[in-house]
Amino acid sequence: MNKGKIVSIHSFRGGTGKSNTTANLAAQVAMTGKRVGVVDTDIQSPGIHVLFGLDETKMGKTMNDFLHGKATIREIGFSIGEHSSGGEGRAKLAGKNLWLFPSSIRGREISQILKEGIDFNLLNEGLQKTITEFDLDYLFIDTHPGLNEETLLSIATSDILIIILRPDNQDLQGTSVTVDIARSLDVPNLLLMVNKALPKYDFVELKKEIEDKFNAPVTGILPLSFDLADNASNDLFSLRFPDHDWSKALRGVAKAVLAVE
Amino acid sequence: MKSDVLNQLQKTAIFKNVSDDILAEVAIKASTRKLVKDEVLIRKGEKGDSLFLIHDGWVKIVTVDSKGDELIINKCGPGETIGEMALLDGETRSATVIALTEAEVLELKQDVFEEILKQRSDVPLAIIRSYSERLRFSTTYIEKAIDWSQKTAEGDYSFVEQIQPLVEGAGSNDDKAAQLLSAFFAMVRRVKEREDGLKQQLEKLTFEIDQARRKQEFDEITSTEFYANLKEQAKALRQKRAQG
């Protein structure tokens, strides 16, 4: 019986704001009182631990060690509710049930998982064990951009796949392939989220057009925001500026995740 | 005719709280004036010393705009009162009133009015009460107008839908505060419509997905042995999860 849901967050290309979105989504879901875990597998981006204000030198073992039986999941899970600091937004997570599971640190390639022979069942058992041990309601996986084998594993094991795209032709082209793959792998819930949309576009029309193209719900259109860029990785934007349009739209996506049965 | 006048006086804001016996006396003391079309009843700048009740016909209230052209501020017809404030403050007339049609008006002179005020001590109190009510009413509307102006500035038009029926039901035609609010609502509605129109002018994005490329990339990914295995395993997993 698996209680918690695995939510993979993916984008076909880099630069969509995926890690930032994942961190904020996980935080928003945790704020509702849910028990939430985040697996960070996208090592190319600044690293989700930075968004949570965590010092990577304090994080020792990784998800890989756990999957290979070299560590227990308890050793990997890093409590954000207990350690999060240095930010007005992050401070709101104090006492919340939110854990970060670093997958790879200090430059270790995530493709190591494959080289070391992690297969689908091993990954899935590991994720299920993580959910059970921490009694999680949601386990978010921040995946690699593109569709390499490791990302395909994450997608295949997901209960919910959120695809983040920017409103441009290249992202839509790439998303079309990811959507086909997700359907081929029988992912039960496919949600789209548009990020970095220029405010000059008609968001209502945009939502309709993308939904028509992919036959999947667009759970939010988040505006391109200089405020957000300015905040960079310093804090969790949606917690620090809850009234900002970006934050409001993000909460809409969190709501869509929570609404999945 | 005099009972009509009494009726008309009762409806006039200034006399709202004045007893009928006094109004009957006022009615008797009012004189009738007949106007031909285009006759000037009141001239802007003249000292105002009487109130007029329009009994029959129509008049226009005009002023002159910056170019010297006539500007009609309002039109008044049977039952309406002009220049009532003059009875109290005796200020000069702020606009010119001209008969639009043949008209019959009743004139109540300031000195006649003041005579009545002196004889009956309850009349001034009744008039003060009328004005006080009116002032209170106007103040409430002004406060609302301020609140709504702020909301409009913030782009919050929700009050238009919520409050409109109240305004339409409130106040008589001669109530300027109600007229102001009515105009205010019309303005906000127009502003909102214009804004909605502008929103519709937002740019539309159109995308084209290269379906051949889409299929090619999908085939590349799914044609591997890795993918075939993964698909099998994922399928088994879904079935297992579905069974709980």
| Reported ipTM | 0.88
* Averaged pLDDT, A239-246: 92
Share of chain B above pLDDT 70, in %: 89
- Tens of pLDDT, residue by residue over A56-98, are 666 677 777 887 788 888 888 888 888 766 788 888 998 999 9
CA distance A96 to A27: 9
More confident residue, A45 or B172: A45
Q: Map out the domains of chain A with their CATH numbers.
A: 5-259 (3.40.50.300)
B198 to chain A nearest CA, in Å? 11
* Averaged pLDDT, B14-40: 86
* Nearest residue to A99 (alpha-carbon basis) of A143, A129, A140: A140
Per-residue model confidence (pLDDT) at position B172: 45
Contact residues, chain A, for B204 at CB < 8 Å: 201-202, 205
How far, CA to CA in Å, does A119 sit from each of A105, A149, B189? 21, 10, 62
Q: Decide if B93 contacts B48 (C-beta within 8 A).
A: yes
Top residue of A122, A177, A186 to mutate, by most chain B CBs within 10 Å, is A177
* Averaged pLDDT, A230-241: 82
- Token output for A140: 């978010």
Asked if the C-beta of A177 comes within 8 angstroms of chain B's C-beta atoms, the answer is yes
Residue A196: which residues within 8 A CB-CB, separation 6 or more? A16, A17, A166, A167, A222, A223, A224
Tell me if A173 and B234 make a contact (CB, 8 A cut-off). Answer: no
A71 to chain B nearest CA, in Å? 25
Per-residue model confidence (pLDDT) at position B123: 76
Q: What is the DSSP letter of A58?
A: G
The full set of domain ranges for chain B reads 2-120, 124-200, 211-243
For residue B173, is pLDDT > 50? no
Per-residue model confidence (pLDDT) at position A103: 75
Per-residue model confidence (pLDDT) at position B5: 76
Q: Which of B207, B230, B241 sits opposite A120 (nearest CB)?
A: B230
For residue A150, count other CB atoms closer than 10 A to its CB.
21
Top residue of B195, B226, B230, B239 to mutate, by most chain A CBs within 10 Å, is B230
Contact residues, chain A, for B222 at CB < 8 Å: 181, 184
Residue in this structure with the two tokens 């003060």, named with its chain if needed = B128
Q: Which of B200, B205, B230 sits opposite A152 (nearest CB)?
A: B230
Tell me if A156 and B230 make a contact (CB, 8 A cut-off). Answer: yes
A124 to chain B nearest CA, in Å? 9
Share of chain A above pLDDT 70, in %: 88
Which residue of chain A has the CA closest to B213?
A: A173
Task: Say which CATH superfamily domain B2-120 falls into.
Answer: Jelly Rolls (2.60.120.10)
